[in-house]
Structures are given as structure tokens and as C-alpha cells.
Structure 1
Amino acid sequence: MGRRADRLSVTAPLLAAALAVASPASGAERQSITLPPGRLGEAAIALGRQTGANIGLSDQSLASIPTPAVSGRLSVEAALRALTKGSGATIQRAGKDGWRIVRARRRPAASPPPAQAAAAPPPDLPPAEIVVTASKRDIPLPRYAGMVEALDSSLFSTAESAAGTATLLSRVASLSSTHAGAGRNKLFIRAIADSGVAGPTQATTGQYLGDMRLNYAAPDPDLKLYDVSRVEVLEGPQGTLYGAGSLGGIIRIMPAAPNLGRFGGQVSAGGSITHHGDPGGDLSAVLNMPIVPEKLALRVVGYGVQDGGYIDDVLRGKKDVNRVRTYGGRAALRFAPDADWTVDLNAVYQHIDGDDAQYASKSVGRLERASSVAQPYASDYILGNVRIERDWDGLRFVSSTGYVRHDLDESYDATQQGGSPALFRQDNRVTIFSTENRLIRDLDNGLGWILGASYLESRSTLSRTLTDYGPPPAERPAPMEQFAIIPGVPIYGRGLPATATGVRNRIREATLFGEASFEPVRGLIATVGGRLTNSNLSGRAISPVSLLSTVDIARAEAQADRTETTLLPSASLLTDAIPGVTLYARYQQGFRPGGLAVDDQRVRRYRNDRVSTIEAGVRKGVPGRDIFAASANIAYTDWRDIQADVTDRIGLPATANIGDGRIYTVEGRVAVRPVPEVTLDASVIYNDSRLTRPNEFVRALSYAGGSLSLPNVAGLGGRLAADYRAPLGQMGQFSLSASARYVGKSRLGVGPILGREQGDYVDTSLSAGLVRGPIRYSLSVTNLLDSDGNRFSLGTPFDLRTDYVTPLRPRTLRAGVDFAF
């Protein structure tokens, strides 16, 4: 069977091998074949299904080659030769009943530039079938039971690639963020949101680069989206396939794979100006180098981005303090020794350096605040991964093993009223080792099974210090108790740090999982699955302050050291008996393991939490492909022992179980293509979340008329977008896109102090592009209406009463140019 060149994409290049649905036919046997004009990846799939032949593509770049209509009684070989005639590709035998399409040794005269600089596919060519590869079984979208957003790289401009996660937030209505700053945000899908402050608890949204987990007990690393082929957002829970930490769902980024047959690359540059702020800029470069043609290739990506500041600090007399610089890169080495094996080595590094926090105070000014000290932060992210894939006899084996180190250093203004300037620092060091091995039977149209085993070990170390910049205690007129900021933590003065209590958590997970789909009657697909996880948890206090009881610490650590076994079942029913319409119902669970946290300078254990979701939905058509496409979904989620990163009475981030809750969610989307050049897209989401059984300390925070809704969950959200793409004769290919996203009201937390409102704003953007040969010119404007909406109501956790807001970045204009070679 031909090797599948790129499983990390969700379009036709990823369906490179068309699997047999009947007894394979001989290459010389003539059969009735009907193939419309299209692209080579689609034609290979259709030909394989019509004839039962196994057809593979050597690399993903071949899939986009235009093909003519082919019909008549032909042999598979004759049909393939007709499809590839004059395309720069040729065919090879791959076993008795298989064929492999490879790039001809002589390069074609006009080879396509990389995706970001290339023009959009001509409107008269049908787009490729969307396949949900994050399902780990390559399921066509019409036969996937659940809500999914599949964002193709052709939709991303270079400016959007530089924006990273912010681009996904602007395009996916069900995705939200805390907006604490690049590299320190918590992401939420649908309404599965715990809190806005950062602590040691695991994320509710799983993030992946290909098959490699990006985060665990840490926020979003905010990797830039340069040279990415596809991004999928799957709504959760996704416990069966992805295990712990996928309560809300998963975000899967598929980087472009090395091209085995063509040398090329791209260079891009852009400059931006922000109203009431500093200028910014971005640079990036992509280089693809075949080392041994059709067998070994290297792909390297490097980038640097500066986001200009726009917040002024009036107390320190500084302007535009929140400048952020990001630089990093990726490298991928692909080795394909034969038609059945693929070995990928991947490496990622990214550094984020933020000069100061990005919040303001309404009482001071729209984009101003008064802080005694700067609050810088930094993030360092390193990833290494080895992925091996083997295809044979209708089976596919995938093995992915890797290591992640994520260091996040944050600081908060801890100055008390009438006290000396003080700074609280929190350093989170997270490492992840993970390996997953799975065997897949991809039968026709997504039917089949998957069986796998995985192991994950995550270690997180949260250390804290308090630094006072005033005079030493001996030179202060009042007793030191009056100046205490954190009980038990000394004040040295003169900028000398004092250690506060921290925690260290370790989690080991060994897992068996499986899922199978079958068709008991024609048009009805049933899927059942389950994941059995054995977790070993341990926690330790770090540098406990003197007032902590040794007995209490020992008790908490003993409670944290435990082994648990968790079973997560799943089931779904789907029917496509009505032509062009999919109806489905799904049930799935997810969980997060517990651990240790510091609460009010005490070490406490927090327990596992678990969600169960039942949902039903309908889907018609495929957005961006069909003239009319629509989807709708309604879901009910039961959330037990909710883990939330809260603040203790001092203001320090802590983690606790806040009780049980329930969430109702209704979603809808409509995409229309009135003419081939224009796409109109509208989506809406409504959430109704409540703490149905708050625990004792949450009930103590409630008050008459107070809301017990879950924090950081907007009740209403939506998005409107329009996209126009068309050729302009000799001038090139022109594109114009506009969008507006509404984020409804939510609350920062629970109770009268953390219950402040946020959200209720509209974010807008407009972009235009022109492709002329290998050059692409672009112009974009974000926050077109210069709205000052409040994205996040937390400034510093040491001051929860000031009217802090996190405003949208003011109107920003960017001009850029890309050059492909």
C-alpha cells in the first residue's frame, strides 16, 4: 500500500492513499470510470473507490495539481496516465494491486510556490473533501459525530500567522481566552472554563502539534502559525482519544510537512502601526530542502515578531509599556525509505518576552493605569518529537514520542496601600514526556477501528518569591507586622527576594484506548469507545514558610500520593440516510487528575474533576465547498468536583474544587457561496452555565442576588465573515476578507469580589491581498472600529477591588509582502 505522505493535514493531500472497498482490481483490467475535473488528490481517492485499487501520493504538494475529466472503460494504469499527463508527475507500481504517484525527476517549468504566497485555488476547481484527522482515523467531515472547525492554511494571511492563537480566537466562535498576555493565556472551548487566574491545575483544553501534546499544567504556549497546513478545533469532551485535560476539547495544529521532491521556500516581512501605541513588525522565512529526492527532506521555519505596546503607566511616567517580542522556529526532517514507511523528526523552540502587563484601570484612563513596579513576564518553550508511520494491508501503525519543556515566569504588582513598592514572582516549570502507539484500520468512508496505548509523565514545579523595594525593616518606623503582604513571608527591603511556599506535582498516566465504528444498517453508523487510564499522582511542598504546620503539610502530601484508575466511555450514532444531511448524537466523558496547591499559605490537595456530555446535532454540506452549508448542535454537560484556579484571601493564585455544575450549549453555523468567488459565514453560540452544588467556601462568597454562573463563560457569542477571492487578469489573484466577532458578557469569578463583568464587545478586522507570481502583497486592519471592549477584568491578584480592564489592542494597520521561491 502506498505511503501516506502527510497525515497532519485534513484535506486531499492527507487522503493520499485511497483504500480499497472491494477486491483490488488488476491494473490492466478495464472498468467503467468517471472522474470530473478537479485536483489530483481528489481524483486518486475517487479512482481508488471506483476500482478498488490502492493509490498513494509521494508528497502532499502533488495533491493540488489540476486534473482533467477522465471517463470511459479504462484500466487503472490508463486512467492514472490520463490524470498525470503534462502535470510533472508520473506513476509507479507499488505491489501487485497498488500504484504510487511521484514527482517526475525533471522539475516542471512552473512549480507552485508555498501555500501562503500562492493564489487561492481557481474558483472553478472543486475544493478537496474535508477529513477530520484529529479523530485519529481520518473521518470525512459528513461522517464525524461532533462539532469541529477545520481551518485551512489558505485562509491564513502572514499577519494572522504572526498573531498565533489570536487568529484562532477571531475565527472560532466557541473558543475563548483569558487575555492575560501572549504565552500566559488559558484557552476554553465551548463553555468548559474553570477560572481566569493561573495555578497548578491542568488545562481544560488539550493542545497538540501534530500528534504531540503541547501543554499540561501550563497555559497556552501561543505558538505562531507560520507554515501550518491545517488547524482543527474539536469540541469536547475528547476523553476517549486524548485522555486527561481534554474536557472542553482539543486544538490540533498540523505543520506543513517536508516536501520530498521540491526545493523552495518563502520569505515574508511586515510592519504595523497601532493607534496610541508603538510600531511593530514581523519577519519569517521557510526553507524546504530535499536531501535525497523522494526519500529525505528538511524543512526549517524561523520567525520574529514584535507587538508594539499601547498601555501607559502614569505613576511611573512610562508610555506603551506592554511591548511583547517573540522569536522562534521549527525544524522537520522527513525520511521515507520506501513506499510504506515515514519517519518524521520535529523540533520547536519559541521565546516570548513581555515588558509589562497589558491591563488598564478605567478610573485612570482608557489605556492607562498607575502601577508602582513593572510586571514583566517571559515564556520559553522547547519541543522534540519522533513520529513513525507504517502502512500495510489496509492497516496503519503510528508511533509518536516526544518531550516538552515549558518555563513561564510571571510577576504581579504586590504593592499594598501606603506600603513600599513590592513585586510577587511566580515561576512555573513544566516538563512532559509522552509516547503513543496506535494501530488503525481505515475502512471505507471513516468506518473502521483504532486501538492504542500511551504513557505520559508530567512534572510541574511552581515556585514563588516576594520582593519589597522599600527600606529594610530596621529603618521602618512601624512594626513589621503592619507591612506584611503574605503571612509568614519576610520582608527584607532593598529589592531582596524572600521565598514563599510553592508546590511540585508529578503525574504518570498509562493508558489503553480504543474506538470502533460499524454500520449495522445502511446509512446508520454506530461508534463505541473507551479509555482506561491508570494515574499515579504525587505532590510536595517547596520551601514552606515557618508558620506552616509540618503535620498539615505531611498530611496533604500523603493525600496527594495516590494511584487511581479511570474509565472514560464514549458512544455515538450517526445517520446520513437523508442525502446531503448528517444527523448525530454523541456521549463522551473527560477528566483532569488532582494534585497539590498552596491556599492561604497552606498546602492542600484538590481532587479529580470529571465531565459528562451528551449532545445532538445536524450538518448539511461542507463550509467553503458547497453553495449552502449549515450545522447546529445542542449539548448538556454535567461537571463534577470542578477544579478552578482561584485566589486565596491574600490574593495568591490557588487551586480548589469549587463544586458541581451544569452547562447547556446551543450552537449554529451557516456558510453560503452565492457565487464561486464569495463566501459568507455566520456562527453563533449560547451558553447557560451554573454551579448547581457549590462547596462551602464558594457558598460563603455568594450574596443575595449574586450569580453562581461558571467564570469566564460568555452567555452569547457569534461571528460574521465575508471572503472574496478572484483573479484580476494579468494583475494576479485578489482576495478581500472582513469579519466581526461578538463576545458576550461573562464574570471573572464567583462572589462579590471576583464577580466583576467582562466581555460584551465587538472585534472587527479587514484584510486584502494581491498575488502576482511569487510575490504576495497584503494590507490588514484589526479592531477596525477602535473598540475599547474589556477582554479580562483581572489586573493584579493582590488588588481585586480596583476597576481593572484588559482593553482590546487599538486599531492596528499592517502592510506586508511575501516572496516565494
Structure 2
Amino acid sequence: MGRKTDVLFVTAFAIAAASPARAADRQSIDLAPGRLGEAVVALGRQTGASIGMSDQSLAGIATPAIRGRMSTAGALSQLLRGSGAKARQIDASTWRIVRARKSAPPPSPTPAAAVQLAPVAQEPPADIIVTASKRDIPLPRYAGMVETVTGGLFETADAAQGTAALLSRVASLSSTHAGAGRNKLFIRAIADSGVAGPTQATTGQYLGDMRLNYAAPDPDLRLYDVGGVEVLEGPQGTLYGAGSLGGIIRIIPNAPNLAQFGGQISTGVSATQHGDPGGDLSAILNLPIVAEKVALRVVGYGVQEGGYIDDVLRDKDDVNRTRTYGGRATLRIAPADDWTIDLSTAYQHIEGDDAQYASREVGRLERASSVAQPYHSDYILANARIEHQWDDLRLVSSTGYVRNVLAESYDATQPGGAPALFRQRNKVELFSTENRLVRDLDNGLGWLLGVSYLESTSTIQRSLTGYGPLSAPAIEILPGVPVYGRGRPATATGVRNRIKEATLFGEASFEPLQGLVATVGGRLTNSRLSGEAIDPVAMLSTVADLARVEAQADRSETFFLPSFSLLSDAVKGLTLYARFEQGFRPGGLAVDDQRARSFRNDRISTMELGFRKGVPGRDTVALSGNVAYTDWRDIQADVTDRIGLPTTANIGDGRIYTVEGRIVVRPIPPLTLDGSIIYNDSRLTQPAQFVRALSYEGRSLTLPNVANLGGRVAADYRAPLGDDMRLHLSASARYVGKSRLGVGPILGREQGDYVDTAVSAAITRGPVELSLSLTNLFDSDGNRFSLGTPFDLSTDYYTPLRPRTVRIGLDFAF
């Protein structure tokens, strides 16, 4: 009956919202003849785009009148025709006008009555600008490996998947798979472990300029109304500070349009083989409040992912259903031509009915648990961003607050004992502010200087609940923690960590020789750390012991992280680069065997060599490759204590070799073929004493959770069907190689070695789009993650791919 009810609910949910989909990029534009400086200001206000100039002498160029319905790119193309200048697209809503290499005499003004422009049939591909560099560097002059996923590649079905859509597109990005809102993300092989403890993430995540996480998993925000995503690989310590050991992921939301009302409604229904149905609904609204001065952009969404794991012990089907709902809102204020103020907020709630794992001993997509293991995540963000542009200088100030609460539960039932449930609640509060002054030029040169301040508090609380009768025989599950029975919880030891960071950072690029760009940078950070135990178990902790470890955690540390790179583009179309960068994470307190123990900071250094030829999406063939060596000292890892619970310790020193490459081919303009591969060789070269004692007689160990080999192939086809219809077809396959869950024999089980596949098709006519997508075409049962419950590490648990799933979607733009 429950499944039939879900079908009716999801179907009604979709039909009720079924207004179709995708907003056209073309807008009504009306520009009077005049000068380029005034024209781009007016164009920006009419389209909501941010348009700047690298050379203010261009502002005096005479421009014609432009009237008609066209895209921002088309309007700029007409505006700059024959002017000796060109427009470069930085992201979905930001453009920079630069002087072309060969200047042409500016045209004389064209009479307004003589110009009635029609839209351009097909816009030329725009250059890729790496905005996550914080200096808007053109891709050919960025010294590093970067993956850019443009907003045009995110269909509504992809947006509903959140981070999973990025994992399917970026070969160097990997994840644990404990469930939405609970996962840890890794770039390259910079991974500590698969279990969740109080360590800071190895991958930094940002929404615009606002940091999304600190000592918490990936919040897995859904990617609705997103202009693009940038993934910078390798340490990013100079620009992003602590917690960017492997790299950073920057999500670029679409900005409010100051001039035009519009929006979009999207809906879809999905059916999962062996499981429950699902559905998704989203709405986007752009509302100008004061013409060309104030606008509000709002997005709201709800997603239900049907369950597909059966629990045979409790006789329940499809127990792992997940619901997600949330939204974002941004108020943009443009008090003057060179000032922009964005006030943003985001909220998301994830509710998981049960854990995502199965047991091969029981059967495919089945397990036997004594109790349900639900979890939920509450995430809220508020941010104020101010930008001021004058001449070729730019001031950016971003200040915000994040509150992330993740509540998890694990089956703690022991053999012969009554059902028991262990609960853990991790609450992270983060305040951060960054202010930087930037001078970025269109040739990749320039500098930036910034200051930042961050405060983060992470509070982990734990409890154990028994569900047997009071008369049941006592079986110790956690030392010193009673089992009351009848659903009464008993408190276990928790921990609270606080950190305050004050930072001064800077970077500069210069060209000592023609075609050779040198970049130097550094970050000076002072961190003040403190930690304390919460509700320590009395029989295992004394006042003296706690005072000692808390004193170890209460300390001040100062770090300097240097960086430098050399880049050559002396050969036309070919970029060669060498780069050195560092990163670090501060230490803190963790709970080990119900005792509070301290762990030290870790530090990483990476040297890499790479090349790039061509720009993906613009050139017929684009190639890139990279070889990197990483030295990782005092590695912080979330491991398990003797009880089996997550804790954090320094497991020793390690090294990582990485080789990766990518090719993007456009044999014909409508078709893009994309292939990438990555190989990682990681070793724990100097294991800590406790790791050496527990495993393999001191032999070097593979670092956890990142496959030694990965790759992806994809095809994307976009073409018109008649005058007002367009067809979009895509297909992809990603291979995830073998990896291990953790370090040592207990967590040494293999995972990975599977292929994930997807195909999709969409037809757009005017404002309406109908789409069909299919994931896991071959209904593969690959093991994404080998952790079930930490209280049972002997059972062959695995986390299967979501079975074959089909989705039908309908979008409507207005």
C-alpha cells in the first residue's frame, strides 16, 4: 500500500506543477547611439549582466543604436563590431571588454533610425575565464588543472542530483556514499578516510565567494539556477587557506537580472527498477523591484528519491527513501554604475528514512538490520557581498554565516543483545569574512591583496539508546555507557572544537620575458585552537586527564604557505606550466575509546607539471595533461577506535603520484566528444606507530577512498529542429577503479571497480522543454562504498549504485 501511495503522491505532485521549461537567453534590448562606456552600463542594466572593461580608454568608442530581442553575447557582438575591442565571458552573467590584439579604427556613429538589429543565429563560443582564481584569468594563462562545468550542461535532472551531477562529469572528483548531506568529497587522491569525524574537509566548497563547509561533510546543495561550477585541482592554500588540500569546488549561482521579469517552473517524475518512484519540482523567479537598481531572484525546490534497499529482518521494502527541499534568494542592489551589493541566503533540509547500504550475505539490494537508521541534515547560509569597480581595480568584500547540523544514527545491536541505536549529532557554525583588492588584466597579469578572518565551532554529541526490556541481560556496547532499554538514551562522550583564523594573503603575476608568466604568492595565517570534551564518561576520564588533553588542544599556531608558478605560451595555442603550492589543516580534539584525545595539524606540498592546447568548446581539439607529486605530512584521518566508532588521529606521512589527461573534440559544431583519465599512486610511507602495530608489519599502505584509476567518456549533441525547436542528446560513462575504505585491516575492504552510465534527450520549443533521462543503463550493482554500521565491521556491507532509473521532465519558462 505504501508504494502505491507514493506513486499517487509523486504523480499528483508532478501534474499539479506541470508547467514546462527553459528560459530563453534572448531579451528585449534597446540601446541608443553613443559611447561604449554608457552603452555597456545600459546593457548591463537591461540584461542583469555585469560588464567591465580592462582598458578605460575603450569607453570613448562610438557605438550604434541596438534594438531587438537577442542574447547578451549577441548584443555585445553587434555593439563591438569593428571597434577594435572584444567581449570575454567570465561566467553566466559576467563579461569583460578587452582590446583586441589588432586594433581597428572605431566606426563612426550610426543613425538610430537606420539600425534595427535581428538576433544572431548562433553565438560564437566564449573564452573560458577561471574566476575561482580570484583574478579572472583566461584559461590559457592559468597555471594549473581546472575543470569547468558550464550551466548549459546542467539540465533540470542534473540539478536535482546535486553533487552527484558533478561526480559524473569530473574524473578527478570522488566521494564517499553514506547518503546525501553525509558524504566527504575528494579531489585527486587527497583523501583521509571514509568515516566522518571532527577533521576539516580536504576539499573546499564555495557558493560564489562564500565558504560552504569547514569541519563537516558536503552539504550537497542542489544545483538549480546555477551558471556553472569550477573545480581547481591541487592545494589552493594561498588563495583559500586551510581545508583546500586537494582543491576547491566553486558553484556560481545565476545573478538577479535588474531589468527583466521572468522565471521557470520545472517538474519531473522518475521510476527506479527494484524500488520506489521519485519526483522533483522547482521554481525560479526573477523580479526587478526598482528598475535597473534593485532586483530579487528566488529559487525553491523539492526532490524525492525513491528507496531501493529492502530490510528483510524488519520485513520492510525500499527503506532508504530520501527527501530534500530548500531554496535560495538573492537581492541585488546597484546604487551606482560601479557598485554591486548582493545579499544572499540559502536553506536546505535533507531527510533520509534509513541508511543506504546493503549486505551481500543477505542478497542483492537487501540487508538485515534490527532498527531503522535515519538521518537528517539542516543547512542555512547568509552572505553579503559588495563589489566596487574603478578603472582596472576591483574591491570585493564577502561576509557570511553558515550553520550546518547533521544528525546520524547507526545500528549498534550486538549478537545476542536487544536492538540498540547509536546517534551522533554534529553541529558546525562558521563565520567568515574576506576583503580583497584585485587588479586583473585580460592577458592574465595583475595582482591581488587580501585579508580574511574565520571563526568555526564544531560540536559533536553522542548517545546510545537500547530498545530491549529493562530485565534484558546487560551487554556492554560502549565502555562506561549504560544501556537502559525501552528507548531511553544514555549520553556518550562528545567533543567541541573551536578555531579562529586571521589571514593576510597576496599573489602577483608578471611577464619577465615575452610569453613567460611568473606568479608568486603567499598566505600568512594565525590560528587559535581550543577544544573540550562534552559529557565525558566518568569511569574512563579524570579531571586531570581532561585538563591535559584540553590544554594540548588550546594553542596558537602560525603558518606561512608559499606558492609559485611559471607558465609559457610562447608557442601559439600551447600552454606549458610548472606549479608549486601548499595547504594545511589545523588540529583539534577527537573522542577515542570514550576519551578525549588531541590530534596535530597536517600539511601538504604539491609540485606539478602540465600542458594545455586549445580551449574546450571553442577549438576543434582541446588537450590538457598534468603530472603531480604530493608530499603529505602528519596526515589527519578519521579512523575507528577499538570500539568501532569514528575518531581522528595522525596516521603518518604519505606521498601521492598523479597523472591525468583530457581531450575535447568538436568534429562538427553541434557535437562535442569529451574524454578524461586519471591515475593515482598513493602510499602511507611512514605509518604512525599504532597503524604499524595494527597492520601489515610496517609495509607501506594505500591511502583510502580514492581509486587508483578513473576515467570518463561523454558525447553531447545540440542542433536546431526547424525554426523554433532544438534537440539536445547526451551520453556518458564513468569508470571508478578499485580503492579501500580505510587504513589497516579492519577498514581495508575493497570498493569501486564499476562503470556508471547515463543517457538523456531533450526537445525545446519556445519556452517549453520535454526531457527524458536514463541512469545506470545496465542496472549495475557496483559497490560505491563498503561501510555499513561501524558497530559491525565484519559483515560484507556495500553501497550499491542506484538501480536503473528513468525520469521524464517538463519545464516551462516565462
Alignment partner of 1:525 out of 513, 517, 520? 517
Alignment partner of 1:282 out of 280, 283, 295? 280
Residue 543 to residue 805, structure 1, CA distance change in 2 (3 Å): same
Distance in structure 1 (CA, Å) of the matches to 2:555 and 2:95? 50
The aligned amino acid for 1:503 is: V
Residue 45 to residue 788, structure 1, CA distance change in 2 (3 Å): farther
Distance in structure 1 (CA, Å) of the matches to 2:59 and 2:108? 11
* Contact kept? 2:90, 2:131, Cα under 8 Å: no
| 1:624 positional shift | 1.6
Asked if 1:692 is matched to 2:666, the reply is no
Structure 1 segment 94-173 matched on structure 2, within 5 A = 124-173=122-171
Partner of 1:508: 500
The aligned amino acid for 2:261 is: F
Distance in structure 2 (CA, Å) of the matches to 1:63 and 1:449? 19
Partner of 1:606: 599
Partner of 2:739: 746
Residue 320 to residue 78, structure 1, CA distance change in 2 (3 Å): same
* Contact kept? 1:16, 1:41, Cα under 8 Å: no
Partner of 1:291: 289
Alignment partner of 2:645 out of 627, 630, 652? 652
Partner of 1:499: 491
Residue 577 to residue 388, structure 1, CA distance change in 2 (3 Å): same
Distance in structure 2 (CA, Å) of the matches to 1:127 and 1:186? 34
The aligned amino acid for 1:176 is: S
Distance in structure 2 (CA, Å) of the matches to 1:310 and 1:460? 33
| 1:63 positional shift | 6.8
Distance in structure 2 (CA, Å) of the matches to 1:500 and 1:210? 38
Distance in structure 2 (CA, Å) of the matches to 1:524 and 1:653? 49
* Contact kept? 1:707, 1:751, Cα under 8 Å: no
Alignment partner of 1:587 out of 569, 574, 580? 580
| 1:336 positional shift | 0.6
Distance in structure 2 (CA, Å) of the matches to 1:79 and 1:662? 64
Residue 736 to residue 334, structure 1, CA distance change in 2 (3 Å): same
Distance in structure 1 (CA, Å) of the matches to 2:258 and 2:284? 15
CA deviations over 1:521-560 (Å, ceiling 9, x no partner): 1100000000000000000000000121221111000000
Alignment partner of 1:554 out of 544, 547, 554? 547
* Contact kept? 2:237, 2:245, Cα under 8 Å: yes
Partner of 1:796: 789
| 1:706 positional shift | 7.0
Distance in structure 2 (CA, Å) of the matches to 1:242 and 1:24? 34
Structure 1 segment 328-367 matched on structure 2, within 5 A = 328-367=326-365
Asked if 1:78 is matched to 2:109, the reply is yes
* Contact kept? 1:670, 1:683, Cα under 8 Å: yes
Question: What SS is found at the alignment partner of 1:167?
Answer: helix
* Contact kept? 1:706, 1:751, Cα under 8 Å: no
| 1:78 positional shift | 3.4
Question: What SS is found at the alignment partner of 2:452?
Answer: strand
Residue 697 to residue 130, structure 1, CA distance change in 2 (3 Å): same
Partner of 1:717: 710
| 1:640 positional shift | 0.3
Query: Where does structure 1 lack aligned partners over 5 or more consecutive residues?
Result: 31-36, 89-109, 111-120
Residue 309 to residue 193, structure 1, CA distance change in 2 (3 Å): same
* Contact kept? 1:145, 1:574, Cα under 8 Å: yes
* Contact kept? 1:18, 1:44, Cα under 8 Å: no
* Contact kept? 1:4, 1:14, Cα under 8 Å: no
* Contact kept? 2:48, 2:256, Cα under 8 Å: no
CA deviations over 1:537-591 (Å, ceiling 9, x no partner): 0000000001212211110000000011000000000011111010000000000
Residue 468 to residue 342, structure 1, CA distance change in 2 (3 Å): same
* Contact kept? 1:435, 1:454, Cα under 8 Å: yes
Distance in structure 1 (CA, Å) of the matches to 2:89 and 2:308? 49
Distance in structure 2 (CA, Å) of the matches to 1:669 and 1:38? 30
Residue 4 to residue 755, structure 1, CA distance change in 2 (3 Å): farther
Distance in structure 2 (CA, Å) of the matches to 1:267 and 1:244? 39
Query: Where does structure 2 lack aligned partners over 5 or more consecutive residues?
Result: 1-36, 65-70
| 1:79 positional shift | 8.3
| 1:43 positional shift | 3.9
Alignment partner of 2:84 out of 38, 42, 50? 50
Alignment partner of 2:187 out of 186, 189, 207? 189
Alignment partner of 1:780 out of 760, 767, 773? 773
| 1:753 positional shift | 1.5
* Contact kept? 2:604, 2:633, Cα under 8 Å: yes
| 1:810 positional shift | 0.0
* Contact kept? 1:13, 1:59, Cα under 8 Å: no
Question: What SS is found at the alignment partner of 2:132?
Answer: helix
Question: What SS is found at the alignment partner of 1:551?
Answer: helix
Distance in structure 2 (CA, Å) of the matches to 1:491 and 1:792? 30
* Contact kept? 2:610, 2:627, Cα under 8 Å: yes
CA deviations over 1:139-189 (Å, ceiling 9, x no partner): 000100001111111111100000000000000000000011000000000
* Contact kept? 1:438, 1:452, Cα under 8 Å: yes
Residue 24 to residue 263, structure 1, CA distance change in 2 (3 Å): closer
Distance in structure 1 (CA, Å) of the matches to 2:586 and 2:778? 43
Distance in structure 2 (CA, Å) of the matches to 1:233 and 1:157? 19
Partner of 2:11: none
Partner of 1:327: 325
Question: What SS is found at the alignment partner of 2:140?
Answer: helix
Partner of 1:307: 305
Partner of 2:51: 16
Distance in structure 2 (CA, Å) of the matches to 1:357 and 1:604? 29
Distance in structure 2 (CA, Å) of the matches to 1:202 and 1:45? 48
* Contact kept? 2:61, 2:83, Cα under 8 Å: no
Question: What SS is found at the alignment partner of 2:591?
Answer: strand
Distance in structure 2 (CA, Å) of the matches to 1:285 and 1:573? 46
Distance in structure 1 (CA, Å) of the matches to 2:481 and 2:735? 44
CA deviations over 1:442-479 (Å, ceiling 9, x no partner): 1232210000000000001000000011122xx23x5x
Distance in structure 2 (CA, Å) of the matches to 1:49 and 1:660? 57
* Contact kept? 1:230, 1:253, Cα under 8 Å: yes
| 1:38 positional shift | 10
Question: What SS is found at the alignment partner of 1:654?
Answer: strand
Residue 204 to residue 225, structure 1, CA distance change in 2 (3 Å): same
Q: TM-score under structure 1 normalisation? A: 0.89
Distance in structure 2 (CA, Å) of the matches to 1:2 and 1:691? 60
CA deviations over 1:48-75 (Å, ceiling 9, x no partner): 9936x9x9999966979xxxx9x99653
* Contact kept? 2:90, 2:136, Cα under 8 Å: no
Distance in structure 1 (CA, Å) of the matches to 2:219 and 2:92? 28
Distance in structure 2 (CA, Å) of the matches to 1:308 and 1:206? 30
Q: TM-score under structure 2 normalisation? A: 0.90
Partner of 2:609: 616
| 1:695 positional shift | 0.2
| 1:516 positional shift | 0.2
Partner of 2:536: 544
| 1:600 positional shift | 1.0
Partner of 1:418: 416
The aligned amino acid for 1:506 is: R
The aligned amino acid for 1:670 is: I
* Contact kept? 1:15, 1:45, Cα under 8 Å: no
Alignment partner of 2:73 out of 34, 39, 42? 39
* Contact kept? 1:3, 1:57, Cα under 8 Å: no
Distance in structure 2 (CA, Å) of the matches to 1:15 and 1:404? 27
Question: What SS is found at the alignment partner of 2:222?
Answer: coil
* Contact kept? 2:686, 2:700, Cα under 8 Å: no
Partner of 2:764: 771
CA deviations over 1:582-638 (Å, ceiling 9, x no partner): 000000000000000001111110000000000000001111221000100000000
* Contact kept? 2:74, 2:123, Cα under 8 Å: no
CA deviations over 1:270-291 (Å, ceiling 9, x no partner): 0000000000000000000111
Distance in structure 1 (CA, Å) of the matches to 2:634 and 2:303? 40
Residue 706 to residue 306, structure 1, CA distance change in 2 (3 Å): farther
Moved over 6 A (4+): 1-6, 12-15, 44-49, 55-64, 79-82
Partner of 1:176: 174
Distance in structure 2 (CA, Å) of the matches to 1:283 and 1:303? 6
Question: What SS is found at the alignment partner of 1:159?
Answer: helix
Asked if 1:469 is matched to 2:467, the reply is yes
* Contact kept? 1:247, 1:591, Cα under 8 Å: yes
